[in-house]
Amino acid sequence: MTTIGIISDIHQRPAGEIEKALTVLKNEGATHLVLNGDIGNCHGSLESSIEGIHTVIDAAGQSGLETYVQPGSHESVTVYQAVLDILTTKYSNILDMVRHPFSDIGAWRLAFLPGAVSLFTGAEYPLGTEAPTGFHMVTKDGLVPFSPEDFNRRVNNGEDVTRVHYTNINALSSLVNNPERTVVFCHEPA
């Protein structure tokens, strides 16, 4: 039997708290885990953000639970994606749902809409309908497709540029192969 535990909005809790939560979920029979956003905190120092995200994802990796990780409204693209890239290489049970937005478990499909609608926190994983899903830049010209060359050129010219990953919620239909057997995970439903 598949049992999915969900952890959300933990905002860089100490490692001991994460390990306790994982132990409880495993004792309750969890075979899979969804880290459903706000595992980090985009406020504060770069070092504390890296450490917070690493602590949570590393604990999930060590738990052995198949873990689906998606950002919410408090993850920074630069920090979150870098840490996730390292830990998905280290742990085969960690899956990045930004890069792979669905997973099949037996007859069920788990579909993911990473990010959040509310941008009041300076979130770098917005949800909406105005752009295609993918990495973009927020510039003085609005939302434009991301390219490292264009990003560097704009920064070198003194422009204020933010890299974001935009999720177009209309893309959800392409992730659903059987509506009666699909479970959708979103950090912040509109």
> Tens digit of pLDDT for each residue in 110-142?
999 999 886 555 678 999 898 999 999 999 888
Give pLDDT, residue 34: 97
DSSP assignment string, 27-65 = HTT--EEEEES-SS-SSS-HHHHHHHHHHHHHHHHHH--
Predicted TM-score of the model (pTM): 0.91
Give the chain's mean pLDDT.
Answer: 90
Cα–Cα distances (Å) from 83 to 30, 79, 80, 91, 160, in that order, read 25, 6, 5, 12, 24
Q: Mean pLDDT by 10-residue block, N- to C-terminus, for the chain (190 residues)?
A: 90 80 96 92 73 90 96 88 94 97 96 81 82 92 92 94 92 94 85
Query: What pairs with residue 34 in β-bridges?
Result: 6, 68
Count of CB atoms situated within 10 Å of the CB of 6: 13
What letters, b where the CB count within 10 A reaches 16 and e where it falls short, cover 143-181?
Answer: ebebeeeebeebeeeeeebebbbbbbbeebeeeeeeeee
Strand order in the sheet with 182-186: 102-105, 108-113, 182-186
Residue 50, C-beta contacts closer than 8 angstroms, at least 6 positions apart: 79, 82, 83
Give pLDDT, residue 119: 54
Tens of pLDDT, residues 140-156: 888 899 999 999 999 99
Tokens 């870098």 belong to residue: 82
Tally of CA atoms within 13 A in the half-sphere of 129 that contains its CB: 4
Give pLDDT, residue 190: 46
Give pLDDT, residue 188: 82
CB 66 within 8 A of CB 114: no
* 106 alpha carbon, distance to own chain's centre: 23
